[in-house]
Amino acid sequence: MATLLHLDSAVFPQGSTSREVTAAFVTAWREQHPDGQVVYRDLAADPLPHLDATAVAAGAEDALRGQLAAELAAADAVLIGAPMYNFSIPSTLKAWLDQVIIVGHNAGPDSPVAGTPVTVVASRGGSYAPGTPREDFEFVQNYLEKVLTGMLGAEVDFIVPELTLAHSKPEMAELIPLADASRTQAFTDATEKAKALAARLAA
């Protein structure tokens, strides 16, 4: 029985592109794993506390950190909704990372998370792709790639819906066709990646 750990971090419960795309991924996942388990954390609705000195000193012996690390280690795959806020990830997602990454326990060459596939839906209101004027402001994919791969040894893949603000900002009106195409592609990618990952884990 496959287990998917699903994290959402968008502050808006409705109308969030990252939430909508992760939901599409989960729907496709459940179709392939009807008897599987989805462990869900809404980091915006139920935020974790910031790391403090006591929790750092306790490491995996801290009750919350131990629970979060166990959830991550038990997952066959991980799905993260990570919208861009002020060029980076939501603070609630950063809090989860700080709590769950424990040096000497799951961070390092012998990490129990090594090889675990992690799909990140990295939505953003504009475009920060290579070659765009703001590519140097992209601190979502760059950061998560380094942390999840470099510290935990996870296998990270991204779905990137761009230009999500095009319909609400008049100055971006000419970008609406590109925004719609990016949104459509994100949903297609979510479904296809979920099905491919499910088939891989079942093999």
**Known binding residues for FMN:** 16-18, 84-87, 123-126
CA distances from 76 to 12, 56, 139 (A): 28, 26, 26
Q: What are the binding residues?
A: 16-18, 84-87, 123-126
156: which 2 tokens? 């990270």
119: which 2 tokens? 């799909």
DSSP letters of 84-134? -BTTB--HHHHHHHHHH--BTTTBSTT-TTTT-EEEEE---SS---TTSTT
CA distance 91 to 71: 20
CA distance 135 to 142: 11
Q: Which residues pair with 3 in a beta bridge?
A: 37
CA distance 41 to 108: 25
* CB contact at 8 A, 129 and 91: no
CA distances from 135 to 43, 54, 101, 131, 203 (A): 27, 38, 28, 7, 38
